[in-house]
Structure formats: C-alpha cells, structure tokens
Amino acid sequence: MSRVALVTGGSRGIGAAISMALKDAGYKVAATYAGNDEAAAHFTKETGIKTYKWSVADYEACADGIAQVEADLGPVDILVNNAGITRDAPFHKMSREQWQEVMDTNLSGVFNMTHPLWPGMRERKFGRVINISSINGQKGQFGQVNYSAAKAGDIGFTKALAQEGARAGITVNAICPGYIATEMVMAVPEKVRDSIISTIPVGRLGEPEDIARCVVFLASDDAGFITGSTITANGGQYLT
Ligand SMILES: NC(=O)c1ccc[n+]([C@@H]2O[C@H](COP(=O)([O-])OP(=O)(O)OC[C@H]3O[C@@H](n4cnc5c(N)ncnc54)[C@H](OP(=O)(O)O)[C@@H]3O)[C@@H](O)[C@H]2O)c1
C-alpha cells in the first residue's frame, strides 16, 4: 500500500513541486495552503492532488486538518513542513507583528504540524519529517532577523527531534534551499536577479524541482540512516 505524504504550503512554489514529485514517486499526497483558493483549485485541477485549507500557525486547526486528511487518505507517514512566509524589515523598523507572524508560521507551524502526527508515527514505528529551512537560517540575512531566527530554529528543532525519533524508525531532516526561481524571486527586476545569480557558483537560480528531489530521497526507505541532517541546496552560494 502506498504511503501517505502531507505537504504544507503544497499548492504553490517549492511546495507544489514537492507535492508533484512525491505523487510521481507513488505516494498518496495531501497539500495544504493558507488562503489562496484560486491557486489551490488550479493546482488540484492540474495535478489531481487534493488540497486542504488551514493555517499552520493555529495548533487546533492543524490537529483538525490532519484528522481530516487521515480520514480521507489514511495515516500520514511523511510530513513536509514547507509552508513559510517573509515579513522583511531592517530590525530597527521591524514591528512585533512582523516578528510574531513569521515565528508563528515558520517555527511554531513546524511544531503545530509535527506534534499531532508524532504519536502515530511512533506507534507505527515509521515516519519521515522533512523541514524546509533556508540558506538565510544558516548565514543570516539583512532585513530578515525574524525569518533567519525562525529558519535557524527549524534546524535546531530538526536536530533535537531526530534524536527522539531515531529508535522509533522516524527520521527528521532539514533542507536549506538557496535562491529558487519561484514567483517571488522571478518578480524582482532582471538586474537584481542577475546580481543574485552572480553570487551563485553554479551560475543559476535553483529550480523548485531541485528541492523536490531532495525531499523524495529523504522520504524514501533508502534514506533511513540519514537523520538530524541539513541538506544544503544552494548552488554553492554558502558553504556550511
Ligand atoms: N523561494 C525561495 O527562494 C526560498 C529559499 C529558501 C527557503 N524557502 C522556503 O521554502 C518554503 C516555500 O517557499 P516558496 O517560495 O515556495 O513560497 P510561496 O511560493 O510563497 O508558497 C508558500 C506556500 O505556503 C503556504 N502558506 C503560507 N503561510 C501559510 C500558513 N500560515 N499556513 C499554511 N500554509 C501557508 C501558501 O499558501 P497560499 O497559497 O494560500 O498563500 C503557499 O502554498 C518556505 O518555507 C520558504 O521559506 C524559499
């Protein structure tokens, strides 16, 4: 029987590529999103992957949403914590709201999604938790104290929980994408994009599929010996 994968923020950008790659690899996939109904409906129409709407920042909504996914598809074996937002500002101009929103989504969201699924994974002695962090959680980024702190927190979460899951057959890993050619990055002026690309040794932006392939590998049985690790997928832009 095919395993069930749940991808947060799985209807757009990197998450959409992850959802599709997991489906192509034979998983039953559920993708969540926060509010863009139109993008989610389009994604479901194009791919046949069912989408579910709730905010990862809301613990109760996560528990209820997960229960619905499990009623529809069966127990979740693979969780990809991909949903994420930016609320950029230099620190002296950053509001408490900008700080809190990013922490609630990018860090607490990972707790809120993983915590309700953890007992079932422990019971079934199998699980894969894959957290999408960021190059900016590794190196820090001007104007992103909130985002960098949350994404660095995701790496700490990964390393600690990996130790708790190891004996229960659950691996917990993080992936740190560099600049990926999503809508957000492609919307910046070409000149700015070119200056970003000039800092990437491989000479190109990443594609969402570059990250999706890492997820498919980490989700597989072949990756059972890999836990607590951080895969750096950034074209050589920042070496850890
Ligand atoms: N793009 C990059 O270059 C890059 C680089 C490093 C790391 N990352 C990380 O990779 C992940 C995906 O980035 P992306 O660029 O693909 O983002 P994106 O295109 O903006 O898509 C974000 C997805 O997350 C969902 N989402 C946002 N807030 C949510 C919430 N509170 N609850 C549930 N879902 C929520 C969105 O739903 P709606 O469609 O409803 O808005 C959307 O499906 C993020 O964690 C990001 O930090 C991206």
Q: Does residue 114 lie in a domain region? A: yes
Q: What is the mean pLDDT of the chain?
A: 97
Domain count, the chain: 1
Residues 66 and 117: beta-carbon distance below 8 Å: yes
Q: Which listed residue (27, 52, 147, 179) is catalytic?
A: 147
Q: Which CATH number does the domain housing residue 108 bear?
A: 3.40.50.720
How do residues 26-76 score in pLDDT, each as one tens digit? 999 999 999 999 999 999 999 999 999 999 999 999 999 999 999 999 999
Q: Does residue 238 lie in a domain region? A: no
Enter the pTM of the model: 0.98
Extended beta strands in 67-201, E state: 78-81, 127-132, 170-177
Q: Does residue 188 lie in a domain region? A: yes
Q: Does residue 72 lie in a domain region? A: yes
Q: Which domain holds residue 207?
A: 4-233
Helix (H, G, I), strand (E, B), or coil: what is residue 143? coil
How do residues 90-140 score in pLDDT, each as one tens digit? 999 999 999 999 999 999 999 999 999 999 999 999 999 999 999 999 999
For ligand 1, the distance from its centroid to the CA atom of residue 93, given in whole angstroms, is 23
DSSP class per residue in 57-83? T-HHHHHHHHHHHHHHH-S--EEEE--
Extended beta strands in the chain, E state: 4-7, 28-33, 50-53, 78-81, 127-132, 170-177, 230-233
Q: Does residue 59 lie in a domain region? A: yes
For ligand 1, the distance from its centroid to the CA atom of residue 118, given in whole angstroms, is 23
Tokens of 233: 């997928």
Q: Does residue 160 lie in a domain region? A: yes
147 tagged catalytic = yes
Q: Does residue 101 lie in a domain region? A: yes
The pLDDT of residue 176: 98
Q: Does residue 239 lie in a domain region? A: no
Task: Tell me the C-alpha distance between 221 and 128, whole Å.
Answer: 10
Task: Tell me the C-alpha distance between 196 and 205, whole Å.
Answer: 8
